[in-house]
Amino acid sequence: MLNGKIVLFQRTKELNAKITEFLNNISEAAIIFRQAVTNYMEFGDNDDFETKLNNVSALEARNDQLRRTIEAKLYEHTLIPESRADVLELMEGLDKIVNMFEARLYQFSIEKIQINDNFKPLYEELSESSVNAVEALVRSARAFFVNISQVNDHLHKVMFFEKQGDMIGTKLKRQIFDDAEIELSRKIQMRMLCDDIDGIANQAEDVADQLSIYTIKRYL
């Protein structure tokens, strides 16, 4: 450690590049997810939405491949044995987030969910909050690999956006079930979608909690 800075894989440029690509793909998937939700709210399940879904699916497949390669190289080169388990768990937790982006977009595409116009802004706010939580988590993860002293600069933002998402989700669900003109089956479908989008931020918070522990262990 030097002035709080630790570069885990400074002698392994290839591994550094793969981890960077892995994190970049999560950020890109988050951006595309946000765009896809906005597109669906305005136009429904159109060609542009399906293109964005396919883009996220491609990123998910690529990150699965990257994660397996990174895990193999950690063992192959016997790198950081004292922190290897933490890094592997972190990569798996991050990988689940892209899976969730993909699953939520398939949910839109398969179920053709009809959302009342008055609820659409809240769905977009909820999606924005989840994406913001993920982006803050990615910044924390980058710091973990490059400059550990900056991890906590971003972790608290993950918690903030997760709590914000909970509040938006609660407001949205109350409005849905207070609307007497919507049949119960549609209310349940919209409520499930709300919970599933909010679940992305919950996953980001879970990984952030783990990352906080990993960071403390690195300082010991």
Question: What are the tens digits of pLDDT across the range 69-118?
Answer: 988 888 776 556 667 788 889 999 999 999 999 999 999 999 999 999 99
| Residue 5, pLDDT score | 40
At 21-80, the pLDDT tens digits run: 999 999 999 999 999 999 999 999 999 999 999 999 999 999 999 999 988 888 776 556
Domains of the chain as residue ranges with CATH: 13-219 (1.20.58.220)
Of 76, 106, 62, 68, the closest CA to residue 12 belongs to 76
Sorted by sequence, the CB contacts under 8 Å of residue 196 that are 6+ apart come out as 100, 103, 104, 107
In this prediction, residue 1 has a pLDDT band, given cuts at 50, 70 and 90, of very low
190 pLDDT higher than 70: yes
3-class state of residue 116 by DSSP? coil
